Amino acid sequence: MTHNTARPNRLWTTIAVYCVPIILWAGLVLWSYVWNLNGLKANSHNLALEKGRMVFSVIEATRMWNASHGGLYAPTSDMSPSNPYLIAKEKDIVSPSGQPLTLINPAYMTRQLAAIMSLGDINIHLTSLKPINPNNMPTDWERNSLMSFENGVKENLDILPSGKEQIYAYMAPLSVKEPCMKCHAVQGYKVGDVRGGIRVSFPVTALSLAEENAVKKLKNVHLIVFVLITILSSSAIAWARYLIANLRRERNSRDDVIAERTQALQYEVGVKNRLFSIISHDLKSPFNSLLGMTHMMSNMGDQLNKKKMAEYAKDIHETGEHIFELVQNLLEWARLQMDGATIVPEKVALNNVLQNSVDVLLPLAKDKNIQIKNQTCNCQVTVDKEMIMAVVRNILANAIKFTPSGGKITLHAQSLEGDATAQITIEDTGVGIPQHIIDNIFSIDQKTTTLGTDGEAGTGLGLPLCRDMLDRNGGKIWVESAVGFGSKFHFTLPLADKPTCNTGNEI
């Protein structure tokens, strides 16, 4: 279950690692786009405002020039007929040459300028809340603007519909100035009052086209920036993940080395503790027993009969054999650990190696009335002969030790051609081995010794030595056992050539 959920978790983690920054960058770029877009729209508004102000200022300056001169005369014509809404002395005169002239006041001049400017894209409308000329009546928007001017508003700019298109409408107030009082004093105005206003209008398209182009460029720039940032951030994330993965691998490698060295150190400490235990207890105890018996024999020898002397001698012999076995195993193990044991592999007949080991232990087996049967193939193996004989002797000695009188030990061998190895099995009808001992039976740092069926003591070094020597010869060892059903020790050796089996030897 853990393995099945780990891959989706890693997938979602990877998606999150890459998508979250992209989402954040998208939000940031979108915010920048909206902010700049609002700036562009505000810029278009400002441009329209400045255009309206400029036209208004020109018209206002022209009106002031006209008003400051008391108006001006122009030839009366269809384009400049006499102004019916103007009340002034000498409104219409004749020049000395007989040319009829009419007075052009600021309002009349503004209307004529508006007619000229309307030929382009700018429209001007002079209006007032109290117009004299009906053509100067305000629209609803103009009326609202005029009313706002009386409340202190300085100017107004809006986008208004006009037919099929939209227009910018700019309007500013016209204040009564001293030159204006000649005509407007009779209307009750004072200097500074809002007399009316001028609306300047022009199509939105003139500025909207430039705005659309700027918006397209802005959109493209932000899109390119987003793509570049996404690529760069994804590359940076990928590189960072690569570095983190390398660091994690290096850390895991260091952890593995530390764990391996810690395990090796723990093993070495366990081995040393085990050796100190063997030296301080397993080796000291039989020596104490041996010294005690020899001391008794030296002090009371003349008081002991032959039977008692024989019993002591037997005990001394068995103790000496145990001490010899222990010292021999200690020396062999120490020699292997210090790389003092040189492996000398040679091609030997497996049956001969096994039989030679059996012959060495045959007297011990006969003492316990144990039968040994050698049923091995006549295999040729490439091994260090002395080491393998030591392995077989150790396993056989254990089998004899833990097999009761009248029992049986059988040696089997078969070739495993697929692995180019020979598998040897030493099977006994002994008492068997408990599982908790099997788990540690080949470990030098664990004490697994028990007494044999006749009270024989063990060293605890034999089987770990067997494993070490087999490792050096390219083999391995394992055991199958159950309490009360005997034991089977299996080990393998590298084959030298194709084997032939014999019927075996029974002893």
Identify whether 94 is part of a domain: no
E strands, 96-253, where? 100-104, 123-127, 156-162, 165-175, 194-203
Rounded to an integer, what distance in angstroms lies between the CA atom of residue 399 and that of residue 405? 12
CATH classification at residue 24: 3.30.450.20
Domain that holds residue 117: 13-72+102-273
Residues 361, 448 within the same domain: yes
79 found inside a domain:
no
- Closest to 172 in 3D by CA, of 194, 204, 140: 194
- Residues 442 and 436: their CA atoms lie apart, in Å, by 12
The set of long-range contacts for 475-479, using a CB threshold of 8 Å and a minimum separation of 24, is 475/383, 475/421, 477/391, 477/442, 479/433, 479/438, 479/441
Q: CATH number for the domain including 356?
A: 3.30.565.10
pLDDT for 2:
47
CA atoms within 13 A on the CB side of 351: 17
- Do 496 and 382 have their domain in common? yes
Q: Please state, in angstroms and rounded to a whole number, the distance separating the CA atoms of residues 249 and 240.
A: 14
Same domain? 329 vs 360:
no
pLDDT score, position 208: 76
pLDDT, averaged in runs of 10, over the chain (507 residues): 60 76 85 84 85 90 85 88 83 89 87 84 89 88 92 91 88 82 66 86 81 83 87 85 87 87 71 59 61 72 71 71 65 58 80 84 83 81 86 86 88 78 89 80 63 57 81 88 87 76 47
Give yes or no: residues 332 and 368 share one domain: no
> In angstroms, rounded to a whole number, what is the distance separating the alpha carbons of residues 39 and 37?
5
Report how far residue 445's alpha carbon sits from residue 443's, in angstroms, rounded to the nearest whole number: 5
> Do both 311 and 350 map to the same domain?
no
CA–CA gap between residue 417 and residue 238 (Å, rounded): 50
pLDDT of residue 448: 55
Count of domains forming the chain? 3
Statement to judge: residues 416 and 297 lie in one domain: no
Residues 364 and 319 in one domain: no
pLDDT of residue 1: 47
Domain membership of residue 81 (yes or no) is no
State whether 430 and 474 are in the same domain.
yes
Q: What is the pLDDT of residue 157?
A: 92
What pLDDT score was predicted for residue 259?
A: 86
Residue 86 falls inside a structural domain: no
Same domain, 326 and 228: no
Q: How far is the C-alpha of 1 from the C-alpha of 42, rounded, in Å?
A: 60
Q: Are residues 261 and 317 in the same domain?
A: no
